[in-house]
Structure formats: structure tokens, C-alpha cells
């Protein structure tokens, strides 16, 4: 990943996602689930935010609720781990929760690169700049 310490912009260059699926009954489908979940997690980490002010949702359109587009998504390398220890059919496990991993990994990578710890999602350029001490905290 890259962190622009002048602007606070974070850019993920490559994403590797490894998931133990027990047994991959349909490996191509499992890889697609992992890739899709990784992209969802990337959006959750860096751009998706519902803004509520005084009980009113201010995020009312696709223009104000950002999701990753092709230009935002790096190469996603899915690693299918087969332990054979799933409780599902043929030893399979569910693969529906991969989006939870990227936010923590991205926050940790930013801290490793800059020393700044981001504790609120999404990790916007403004929040990175604030954590780097470039912008005063408005609170």
C-alpha cells in the first residue's frame, strides 16, 4: 500500500486474502467469494460511511455513499486454504464473512508505514491527515 503523507490519501496496491474453507467444493466460486469479500472490506475500510446528524441520515444517495469502483480496486490474490475441518457437507466451511479482515489489515499497515494509528472507519484522507498531525481535530 501507499500512504501519501502530504495529503493523507491511502492507496492499496495489492490485496492478498487467505481463508480456510474446510474443503472447496467449487474452487472457482470460492475464489470469487474471497475476491468479492476483499473488495467489500476495502470499501468498508476506506470509503463507505453512513453519516447521521441529529437522527437524520445525510447519506441518501449513491453520490454520497461511496463504494469501490474499478479504479479503486487493486489486484486481489485469493488463497484458498483447505484444512478439511469444516462442519458443512464434505468438510466445507462457509465463506460469507471475508469483508471483516481488510479494515484491520489496512489500519495496521498505515500505522506500520507512518506511526499513525487510525481508530475510526472509514479511513479517509482527512482522518489520516489528522492522525499525522497535519490537520487539527475539529472536536
Catalytic residues, by residue number, are: 97
Nearest to 90 by CA among 15, 26, 19, 32: 26
Instruction: Say if residue 122 is preceded by a cis peptide, omega within 30 of 0.
Output: yes
Count the neighbouring beta carbons within 10 Å of the beta carbon of residue 5.
Answer: 14
**What's the CA gap between 65 and 93, in Å, rounded?**
32
**What's the CA gap between 62 and 95, in Å, rounded?**
27
Asked if residues 23 and 86 have their Cβ atoms less than 8 Å apart, the reply is yes
**What's the CA gap between 75 and 102, in Å, rounded?**
14
Amino acid at each position: 500500500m501507499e500512504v501519501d503523507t502530504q495529503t493523507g490519501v491511502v492507496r492499496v496496491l495489492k490485496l492478498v486474502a487467505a481463508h480456510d474453507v474446510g474443503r472447496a467444493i467449487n474452487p472457482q466460486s470460492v475464489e470469487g467469494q474471497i475476491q468479492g469479500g476483499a473488495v467489500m472490506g476495502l470499501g468498508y475500510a476506506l470509503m463507505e460511511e453512513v453519516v447521521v446528524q441529529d437522527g437524520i441520515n445525510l447519506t441518501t444517495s449513491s453520490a454520497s455513499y461511496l463504494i469501490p469502483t474499478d479504479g479503486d480496486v487493486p489486484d486481489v490474490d485469493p488463497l484458498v486454504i483447505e484444512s478439511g475441518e469444516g462442519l458443512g457437507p464434505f468438510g466445507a466451511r462457509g465463506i460469507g464473512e471475508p469483508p471483516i479482515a481488510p479494515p484491520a489489515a489496512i489500519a495496521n499497515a498505515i500505522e506500520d508505514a507512518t506511526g499513525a494509528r487510525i481508530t475510526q472507519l472509514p479511513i479517509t484522507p482527512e482522518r489520516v491527515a489528522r492522525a499525522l498531525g497535519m490537520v487539527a481535530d475539529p472536536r
